Chain A
């Protein structure tokens, strides 16, 4: 279980640009949930992910995983148990290294990076088996540098790499936003399959309201640093895109945009 307790976060404190994003913010994710997060720009979606991953600090409050406070842990320590996929497909892979090298690197997560061989030849077949269901032809390109792949191929690989080792959380930060509609669809289906297979607790930020409605077991909408809508179970299944869109437009109008 992930708990954010009484989180406060100010950007540029003490200056004229001071922006209070979170004030006593509380949010809980149960194990096994697949939470879709929607909300307008600046509502705090990505900041929330960054706070969980430790990429940005908080001014006050606690971040608990399974009841243990991790707010003092460095970002890289926290991410040993977290898989993260970014909006930018190039952030989840190493462009100058081959697919095989990238996957070997990802599979070693959590173990020491010592002077052992970087690539374990006996794992090549297993990697092929992982890549085959993507239907992107990557299984025949193990020796190809990732930098020469398309955005969709890279994002699929990034998703696989983020989930190769046992993780407590999968964090998806608008991971389909930079892709064309068809590729985004493929990546979204792949995401759903991986989440189901691994039964991994997932938080997905998206601007695509349809994905938020169709996928996941819980839907929340954020606005100005607070959760203004939280639907799960039966309620979540009965919700439709128009309804969400309606709420979304209403809050936007209130803001004057």
Chain B
């Protein structure tokens, strides 16, 4: 039971990260490696705010989002204004953020065990009855993830959201519409990295610590979730693509948990991440080929 709960909790937390990766990878067609830096960035800010300044936990969520959005704007400016290739812009930001994250957090590992957080504070503890204690974390994560998903769905159907979808599809038309396509890309990158940092913020509070190494491979986890979600649930039209991405993330975490359960050591986790991603890529490519030959 604890294993299932942990898969659901982490799956949904990384689901928010996957939604961010979905915006850059699928909508903008921009492989954004900034994620490896912006995920721990959200976590570092949260750890510092909670342990250093005693900021109310609920406030860490919007602060982390905004900080992540700022990081996304930087990646966008490097790419759009300085004309640096997309992958390189992300790598530059990811590398720089590693140091910035260490500065913000103060060290590579910051425990926040005895502090209040979004799962454990006066308000939450009063609302949740005794028998729901064990499910408190998973319920709160579920609510936040749903809220993020619905906000994103709503945004994608606004005029601004339409432009975002258009720019990844065919950026010529955005220029034809009299809009600066560079600006639209920057907006997309900022929302995406805002979500990634928000995910890092929740992750730090669920783990009750900040660790610099959580960033390594974050983008791979996000990509794997997006690809599982979008290729597995392509046929189910009642599922919004945002929902499939979150479910993809939960499935991915379940795969990793199974591998750990089967006795693979925790130090091998990054290797499992990489191999799993490769398997997923290969499987989704196969599906695509079959579909192509059927036509």
Taking the complex as formed, is B185 at the interface, i.e. its CB lies under 8 A from any CB of chain A? Answer: no
Smallest CB–CB gap between A100 and chain B, Å? Answer: 11
Residues of A within 8 A of B175 (CB): 75-76, 79
Selected from A84, A90, A114, A115, the residue in CB contact (under 8 A) with B176 is A84
Taking the complex as formed, is A86 at the interface, i.e. its CB lies under 8 A from any CB of chain B? Answer: yes
Taking the complex as formed, is B161 at the interface, i.e. its CB lies under 8 A from any CB of chain A? Answer: yes
Are A114 and B159 in touch, CB under 8 angstroms?
Answer: yes
Known: A117-B158, A118-B159. A106 touches B177 (CB 8 A): yes
Taking the complex as formed, is A77 at the interface, i.e. its CB lies under 8 A from any CB of chain B? Answer: yes
Are B166 and A97 in touch, CB under 8 angstroms?
Answer: yes
Smallest CB–CB gap between A88 and chain B, Å? Answer: 9
Smallest CB–CB gap between A168 and chain B, Å? Answer: 12
Are A115 and B160 in touch, CB under 8 angstroms?
Answer: yes
Smallest CB–CB gap between A96 and chain B, Å? Answer: 5
Residues of A within 8 A of B157 (CB): 117-119
Smallest CB–CB gap between A51 and chain B, Å? Answer: 15
Give the docked Cα–Cα distance between A140 and B247 (Å): 34
Taking the complex as formed, is A179 at the interface, i.e. its CB lies under 8 A from any CB of chain B? Answer: no
Selected from A74, A84, A91, A114, the residue in CB contact (under 8 A) with B158 is A114
Taking the complex as formed, is B95 at the interface, i.e. its CB lies under 8 A from any CB of chain A? Answer: no
Taking the complex as formed, is A116 at the interface, i.e. its CB lies under 8 A from any CB of chain B? Answer: yes
Q: 0/1 per residue, B168-180, Cβ < 8 Å to A? A: 0110111111111
Smallest CB–CB gap between B237 and chain A, Å? Answer: 12
Taking the complex as formed, is B149 at the interface, i.e. its CB lies under 8 A from any CB of chain A? Answer: no
- Per the 8 Å Cβ criterion, residues 143-198 of B in contact with A are 155, 157-163, 165-166, 169-170, 172-181
Selected from B162, B170, B172, B176, the residue in CB contact (under 8 A) with A101 is B162
**Smallest Cβ-Cβ distance to A78: which chain B residue:** B178
Give the docked Cα–Cα distance between A113 and B160 (Å): 5
Are A76 and B179 in touch, CB under 8 angstroms?
Answer: yes
Q: 0/1 per residue, A171-211, Cβ < 8 Å to B? A: 00000000000000000000000000000000000000000
Are A76 and B178 in touch, CB under 8 angstroms?
Answer: yes
Residues of B within 8 A of A76 (CB): 174-175, 177-181
Which of B155, B166, B173 counts the most A-chain CB atoms under 10 A from its CB?
B173
Are A105 and B177 in touch, CB under 8 angstroms?
Answer: yes
Residues of B within 8 A of A95 (CB): 169-170
Smallest CB–CB gap between B289 and chain A, Å? Answer: 19
Taking the complex as formed, is A108 at the interface, i.e. its CB lies under 8 A from any CB of chain B? Answer: yes
Are B178 and A115 in touch, CB under 8 angstroms?
Answer: no
Taking the complex as formed, is A109 at the interface, i.e. its CB lies under 8 A from any CB of chain B? Answer: yes
- Per the 8 Å Cβ criterion, residues 70-106 of A in contact with B are 74-77, 79-80, 83-84, 86, 90-97, 101, 104-106
Q: How many B residues have CB within 8 A of the partner chain?
A: 22
Known: A75-B175, A76-B180. A93 touches B170 (CB 8 A): yes
Total cross-chain contacts (CB, 8 A): 81
Taking the complex as formed, is A110 at the interface, i.e. its CB lies under 8 A from any CB of chain B? Answer: yes
Known: A95-B169, A95-B170, A96-B169. A80 touches B178 (CB 8 A): yes
Taking the complex as formed, is A48 at the interface, i.e. its CB lies under 8 A from any CB of chain B? Answer: no
Residues of A within 8 A of B180 (CB): 74, 76
Are B158 and A116 in touch, CB under 8 angstroms?
Answer: yes
Are B169 and A113 in touch, CB under 8 angstroms?
Answer: no
Taking the complex as formed, is A162 at the interface, i.e. its CB lies under 8 A from any CB of chain B? Answer: yes
Residues of A within 8 A of B177 (CB): 76, 79, 105-106, 108-109, 113
Are A118 and B176 in touch, CB under 8 angstroms?
Answer: no
Selected from B155, B163, B172, the residue in CB contact (under 8 A) with A105 is B163
Residues of B within 8 A of A110 (CB): 178
Residues of A within 8 A of B176 (CB): 79, 83-84, 92, 109, 162
**Smallest Cβ-Cβ distance to A110: which chain B residue:** B178
Residues of B within 8 A of A91 (CB): 170, 172-173
Selected from A86, A96, A108, A115, the residue in CB contact (under 8 A) with B172 is A86
Are B173 and A113 in touch, CB under 8 angstroms?
Answer: no
Smallest CB–CB gap between A177 and chain B, Å? Answer: 17
Residues of B within 8 A of A106 (CB): 177
29 residue pairs from A and B, CB less than 8 Å apart = A76-B175, A76-B178, A77-B178, A79-B177, A83-B176, A84-B176, A91-B170, A91-B173, A92-B172, A92-B176, A94-B165, A94-B169, A94-B170, A97-B162, A97-B165, A105-B166, A105-B173, A108-B177, A109-B176, A109-B178, A110-B178, A113-B159, A113-B179, A116-B158, A117-B158, A117-B159, A118-B159, A118-B161, A118-B162
A residues within 8 Å of B by Cβ?
74-77, 79-80, 83-84, 86, 90-97, 101, 104-106, 108-110, 112-119, 162
Across the A-B interface, give the 3 residue pairs with the lowest CB-CB distance, nearest first: A80-B178, A118-B162, A113-B159
